[in-house]
Chains A and B, each alone.
Chain A
């Protein structure tokens, strides 16, 4: 059913720290590795070793240069499904393949119902959905539903693959509907923001902006090297001999 739930018990989602993300692509490959055998498998690659590589990925990391009056800086920007509270990708679906779960707010696609009309990908402003031309259906991030509730995994591993893989802890997972959760407190503390709030999709995932520039770095260059003057003594003699 593509009508949205009026209320979700939880708002599971990610918080991504743009300050600490180093753009290593570990989350991208971990996501691909897990999900190509997971809930929405396979994440088809077309011509993977050829000249026109294409394929389905749920998570893509862009790099931007953000230039302000304080100077420029590189910002690595992971982009994946934001599991919006008002996901138009769900309501436009004509078949009921797309749905938002009332229990935890995760937006999923039932691959057996998808007719591959691609309208949901048009309705998503964030480019979260990617069409699998090989299977003929739309695919998207599942927030690793097959990990986070998976009793076969150790409890600390029950997080999305991208979160588990991040070497700089730039990715956080939790319930954003609970204001007392660690992830919600992090958003409050760091001033987490919505992407494209003007679209009115109310994304669940939040992005932590890079921290402000500081003046702690050395503001003057190191002292200039002193000019080399001729040495006397034994070392001076060695220097002269070797210089000849």
Chain B
């Protein structure tokens, strides 16, 4: 599948943003963070900023973005529509939570309730995003049991690393938050390795034989219907060289998982402000690594239409 940057950035940024929003909502409601103005301003600003930037970026993928409002109508059947509805609905409790925290300086009663609702909205929205991909049968690499949990795990992981960076930035970091982030990054790493392993061994029932209805033997492409690449080949026939794929997987592992773990563990050992710098670096490296991961998520996915072209 063609890795359009608008969609790669959209899923990565909203994943991290919703992860951070959910954690802020829960921690705020549980009274584990203080209703400090700057903490709320930066934390909620970062979460809602990532979400908004991601959603805006996604409209860049549209042929007619001025009609994007129509996408809220078909929530009964479409995961994409459900995602749109969930993302906009989540802005309501998230906005109230942000107002309560930043402007009113409180995290009790209705502000706490808004925080919990925002967290629920964030989780639901990430599930909707995951289901858009997991529901597509023609793309076996996505239509797998790994896709939806992957989106949730990566969202929680990048959200927790961002939260740790924000807390450390205000010298509010604690070993508890660090101890929460490191296993999540490790879980993300294991999940990604398991997903790649599953995809590399994938054998589907769909072949050039079933695609053409010609039973038995082999079906070899003699001639394409056209000499130049068409929409189908540009959009669904994107191919990535095997050597680049291996290299990019190593880059993903280094930036998104290995380096953040090293930096977070180092943050345990060093005092503030060095711990804050290390935590911020971990978040930046992971975001870059997750962009590569998401690029590969698209680039390595194979669509059944390629069978018609002998690819």
Partner-B contacts on A (CB < 8 A): 1-4, 18, 25, 28, 52-57, 60-69, 74-75, 77, 79, 88, 90-97, 113-119, 121-127, 130-133, 135-138, 193-200, 207, 209-210
Contacts and interface: CB of A to CB of B under 8 A. Distances in A.
B206 A198 contact: yes
Most A C-beta atoms less than 10 A away, residue of B78, B221, B228 = B78
16 contacts: A2-B77, A62-B225, A62-B308, A67-B217, A67-B220, A117-B63, A122-B303, A124-B138, A125-B211, A126-B305, A135-B63, A195-B210, A195-B213, A196-B206, A197-B210, A198-B205
Q: Shortest 6 CB-CB distances between A and B: which pairs?
A: A116-B63, A136-B63, A68-B217, A127-B305, A60-B225, A94-B81
B63 A94 contact: no
Given A61-B225, A64-B221, A118-B61, A95 B213 contact: no
Given A60-B225, A65-B222, A93 B213 contact: no
Contact of A130 (B70, B210, B218, B231): B231
Contacts of B138: 122-125, 199
B75 to A, nearest CB: 8
B137 interface: yes
A138 B84 CA distance: 20
Interface in B180-230: 205-206, 208, 210-230
B55 interface: no
B74 A116 contact: no
B212 A136 contact: no
B243 interface: no
Contacts of A119: 78, 80, 132
Contacts of A18: 213-214
Interface string B121-153: 000000000001001111100000000000000
Contacts of A124: 138, 305
Given A91-B78, A196-B211, A137 B135 contact: no
Given A2-B78, A77-B212, A115 B63 contact: yes
Contacts of A94: 70-74, 78, 80-81, 84
A90 B1 CA distance: 20
Nearest to A52: B228
A68 B231 contact: no
B88 to A, nearest CB: 13
B76 A3 contact: yes
B216 A62 contact: no
B31 interface: no
A115 B220 contact: no
Contacts of B224: 62
A53 B228 contact: yes
Given A95-B67, A96-B70, A113-B70, 10 more contacts: A2-B78, A65-B221, A67-B217, A75-B214, A97-B70, A115-B68, A117-B63, A122-B236, A130-B230, A196-B211
Contacts of B227: 53
Contacts of A88: 135-137
B77 A3 contact: yes
B244 interface: no
Contact of A207 (B1, B63, B213): B213
Contact of B71 (A25, A90, A95, A130): A95
Contact of A75 (B132, B212, B236, B309): B212
Most A C-beta atoms less than 10 A away, residue of B214, B220, B229 = B214
A131 B236 CA distance: 12
A197 B211 CA distance: 9
Contacts of A97: 70
A133 to B, nearest CB: 7
B74 A123 contact: no
A113 B214 contact: no
A91 B132 CA distance: 11
